[in-house]
Structure 1
Amino acid sequence: MNHNAPVPPAGPRPLHHLAAGRRRVLTIAQLRTYGVTTAELNEQCRAGGAWQQVLPGVVLLHPGPPTSEERLHAVLLYAARESGAPGVPVQPGAEGPHGTPAYREAMITGRAALTLHGFSSTPPLLSLETIDVLVPRLRRLRSTGCAHVIRTPALPTAQHVTGLPVAPVPRALADTVAELPDADAVRRLLTEAVRGGHCEPASVVRELNQAKLLSRSPVMDAVELLLAEGRAIAEGRLHRMVREHGLPDPVWNVDLRLPGGPHLGGLDAYWPEQAVAVEVDTRAPRQEEDDLWSEYARKREVLERLGITVVHITPKKLRDAMEQQATVVRTALMAAGDRDPAAYVVVLPR
């Protein structure tokens, strides 16, 4: 026997092996790599057959209704493409996180994405008639069946939820709100996003602004409540930071004035003996942001000229790096003894 003789190529896998595999949603191009001919595909997908074509070029390898996971994979297979081969989905073996397929230039967005992120105010996946999928603007792809195509000039960085590429919460919210005329539904979604700790108000408003949605009446009303909710949560975190990290108690929510002089501005927390102030930045990132930031900077400059140290904290830092922010405040308090005494100011409740 000649041990150097080439091993003959394996024949096509039997069709029932495909249907019994881990993945039961494949593209026609992928099926052909398994040796499935056009005649076999037509036979399997005929009325009453063992397979069904659920989207153009995408085949479900069983006759029953697709599961929610199969619908998501089908939509992604329809929308994804391989780099350098426009319109051609990724091939078998191109794996992403957790052994799932790597879908290029496509991600789930809208209500389906919010449900995957854990929102309770969005419908279950199986009750959605369509699933929103985000693709680059120049893709030649139309909405069809359960796939609703949304185009964007620049894809955000996807987050992987159960191994699927999913738009970040702020982008998924913007894509959902764009289709919602109901003010109550918009308000419920935005409120849950903040109360549930999914994201900060500023990131939501930024996405809504980029999507040109802030001028819509239902959105405007919801955003005002969102910002108020976000400020209340941020203030609660600031109180918790002081309590849990052993900082001395400040005076809360005060206005500063020069004796007999002008108003200097409001502060979220102030330590009069050390002349240290904390201000939580809950600005809405709108187009007039530069003007508002100038006002923040002006106030800080005036206070620091008077010898008051201002610590500027964002809600995101309070949420994600509370211990680090507590260290910043503690350091400012400890350094007070090394500074010249601050000017006398009047502290009033805000």
Structure 2
Amino acid sequence: MTSGQAVVEAKRLEELGVPRRTIWRRCEPGGVWRMLLPGVVLLGNGEPTEEQRIEAGLIHARESSMLTGVSALRRYGLKKLPDFGDVHVLVPAGRAIASTGFVHVERTRRLPVPRIRAGVPTAPVPRAVIDAARRTPELDPIVAMMAEAVQERHCVPRALAVEIDERSRFDARLLRGLAPILGGAHSVAEADAWSLWARSGLPAFRWNVKVFDATGRFVAKPDGWCDEVGFAWEVDSRGYHSGGDQFRATLARNARYAAAGIVVLQTLPSRIRTEPNLVLDELRAAFRSAQRRPRPDVHIG
């Protein structure tokens, strides 16, 4: 890892000939260095960067430690993450190292094989997601992390299920969060839709499948699809679909639905939470409408 100012262990400075009293004097308030963690020194007096905090955390945790949780997921490029403001590291179960300062230390008997990301030993994505999720009290951020990890092809849903089983089998929140992802949901809004559909009593829905007409031309990729009657459910965000290219794309999509004879219900994501019973009524009514006419000659692929 490279940084503007080095982060080093105080013991290493002593080995290089810097007297202990000099180290402490330079780390006093107003000094030229900063003691970031017990025995870990920033050779500068500014605020540490995220990279310097990570480096300090791994020095504190010592060999065989690795980054996990939110800080690890950022290194994989994930963005829909809660903000804990600390550095989460894994260490072997027998290591007597405590959390301190901005470092959250977690001892584990299941230390995974790390991936090296920008020079840092980092837990694999499924483990990092579940480690972050176990510390997250709200369900929405958990679903968002899981959905982004799967949608961006960092892992498959089954890998998350294995981690939950191995690490958090009694945490019902994680199972609730994963259920719609296993079903094919790609976002919090789609997870809400999946949960509402589960209450509807309607036949099986498929999620995020591609629909083609009789000639093989692409029609759409609906959020929810009932293949039994050829019925599509789109959970359309007003902000995303109301302007510019997105609005034109939505109109073109709806025209393709109409040309293919597909009944489609459009629902704002917010209504699934604020008016769930009304949305359920609309969902069932739209399904019955689709059921009353011959199934359109379309297929999924």
Match of 1:166 among 116, 122, 132: 122
SS of the counterpart of 2:184? Answer: helix
* Corresponding residue number in structure 2 for 1:27: 9
AA matched with 1:224: A
CA distance in 1, matches of 2:52, 2:171: 35
Query: What number of residue pairs does the alignment pair up?
Result: 195
Matched with 1:111 is 70
Equivalent position of 1:61 in the other structure: 43
Task: State how far apart, in whole Å, the 1-side matches of 2:146 and 2:4 are.
Answer: 37
Which of residues 26, 29, 38 is equivalent to 2:20? 38
1:22 deviates by: 6.6
Are the aligned partners of 2:146 and 2:181 in contact in 1 as well (CA < 8 Å)? yes
2:97 pairs, out of 127, 132, 141, with 141
- The whole-number CA distance in structure 2 between the counterparts of 1:154 and 1:221 is 24
The residue identity in structure 2 corresponding to 1:43 is R
Task: Letter of the 1:223 partner, please give it.
Answer: L
Task: Find the residue that maps to 1:207 and give its secondary structure.
Answer: helix
Provide the C-alpha distance between the structure 1 equivalents of 2:182 and 2:154, rounded to a whole number of angstroms. Answer: 15
Structure 2: gaps (5+ residues): 186-205, 217-226, 228-298
* 8 A Cα contact 2:9 2:41, kept in partner: yes
Q: What is the match of residue 224 of structure 1?
A: 179
4+ aligned runs moved over 4 Å, structure 1: 230-233
Corresponding position: 1:200 with 2:159: no
Where in structure 2 are the equivalents of 1:67-216 lying within 5 Å? Answer: 67-80=49-62, 104-122=63-81, 128-213=84-169, 215-216=170-171
1-structure distance, mates of 2:207, 2:73:
23
What does residue 191 of structure 2 align with? Answer: none
Amino acid at match of 2:173: P
How far apart in 2 are the matches of 1:27 and 1:232? 51
In 1, Cα distance between equivalents of 2:115 and 2:130:
16
CA distance in 1, matches of 2:21, 2:181: 57
1:6 matched to which residue of 2? Answer: none
Offset at residue 27 of structure 1 (A): 0.1
What SS is found at the alignment partner of 1:197?
A: coil
* Cα distance, 1:212 vs structure 2: 2.3
Return the TM-score normalized by structure 1: 0.51
Please give the alpha-carbon distance, in whole angstroms, between the structure 2 residues aligned to 1:232 and 1:31.
57
The structure whose Rg is larger is 1
Alpha-carbon deviation of 1:232?
Answer: 5.4
Q: Give 1:53 deviation, angstroms.
A: 0.7
What CA RMSD, in Å, does the superposition of the two structures yield over aligned residues? Answer: 2.7
